[in-house]
Structure formats: structure tokens, C-alpha cells
Amino acid sequence: MKSEIQISKFLSFVLRHRPDEIGVQLDPAGWIDVDELLSGCKQHDFEISRAQIESVVKNSDKQRFALSDDKKRIRANQGHSVPVDPGYEPATPPAILHHGTATRFIDSIRATGLSKRTRTHVHLSSSIDTARAVGERHGKLALLEVDAEGMMRDGHIFYLSANGVWLTESVPWKYIKFPT
């Protein structure tokens, strides 16, 4: 029996990065029919049930996924590397946002700012704890503070995903406070 963490990781992989890996396609807003997803999973040796998907969506600690109102479709709320447009609305962030990364990236970030790398946006958090956990996944933690207020003032656009992650195109180095 697969754990919810295993299923969540698999769904993140398929719905954010590699739908082709199980032979399915996302629509332009990132949605896929749950039935199609289930049959793709089954054909690729990862058989799960609709009830398991619904339970993972409900219990996801970061609310990573959304079901459509009729529960027929599912998508990831953020984190994509495939080019989808979930219809993020511009929003005003708190004055300071946080980004957790690894110390080995700092020289490069000092030189070029934060870039989106493989994803569609740079991911920022209003919570230091979340930023810390994200950074620790990459190695020795470096916590960066982003002057979101200054960026807004200078015309940068921020979006808030359905699960509360702040997204933007890039963060030039002058808005970043590095750890001393």
C-alpha cells in the first residue's frame, strides 16, 4: 500500500514536471481529468485510487493540489516546470518575503539575483519556517530576505498561489539581504 507521501511526491512529479512520463497531458491551466490521471498512473505501474487522490489533496501539508469544484479535474497549485498558466492574480505581498536556499548557491545569487531556474517563477514565502525547510532540502541553509515592498514600488509583479506561495519572475540582487 502506497503512503500519502509517496503518492504526493508522484503527483507533484507528474502534475508539475513530467506528465509525459505517464503518457498524459495537462491543459493550458495545468488541469487534467482525474480519470485520465488514474489510468496513466495504472499503465505506468503506479496504481492508485480516486479515494487516495482525494485524501492526498485534502491532507497535503502545503495544500499542493487543487480539485475542480466538480472533482473531475486536478492540478498542482504551484511549482511547475512545464509551461502552464494557472491564472495567478497579481497581489500585494508583505513588505518582506523569505527564500531558503543552500550556501553553495550564494555567490551565484549575489551575482545574478534569484532566478526561476527550471520552474515558471521564483518561489518566496511569508514564513521563515517554510523558507528554512525549503532551503534545507538543497544543503546547508542560507536564509535570504527579499525586499518585496521595494520590488513592488519599482514595478515588479507578485502573484499568490492558491496555497499561499508568493511567486515572481526574478529577484534582482539589490532587493536581497544576505546572511552575514
Task: Report the interface residues with ligand HQG, using CB under 6 A.
Answer: 12, 62, 64, 79, 101-102, 105, 108-109, 112, 114-115, 117-119, 123, 134, 138, 165
Residue closer to ligand HQG by CB (options 3, 115) is 115
Q: Quote the least distance from Cβ 5 to ligand HQG, whole Å.
A: 11
Give the shortest CB-166-to-ligand HQG separation in angstroms: 9
Minimum CB separation of residue 43 from ligand HQG in Å reads 25
Give the per-residue SS3 of the chain: CCCHHHHHHHHHHHHHHCHHHHCCCCCCCCCEEHHHHHHHHHHCCCCCCHHHHHHHHHHCCCCCEEECCCCCEEEECCCCCCCCCCCCCECCCCCEEEEEEEHHHHHHHHHHCECCCCCCCEEEECCHHHHHHHHHCCCCEEEEEEEHHHHHHCCCCCEECCCCCEEECCECHHHEECCC
Shortest distance, position 35 Cβ to ligand HQG, whole Å: 24
Q: Which is nearer to ligand HQG, 39 or 96 (CB)?
A: 96
Instruction: Select 22 or 146, whichever has its Cβ closest to ligand HQG.
Output: 146
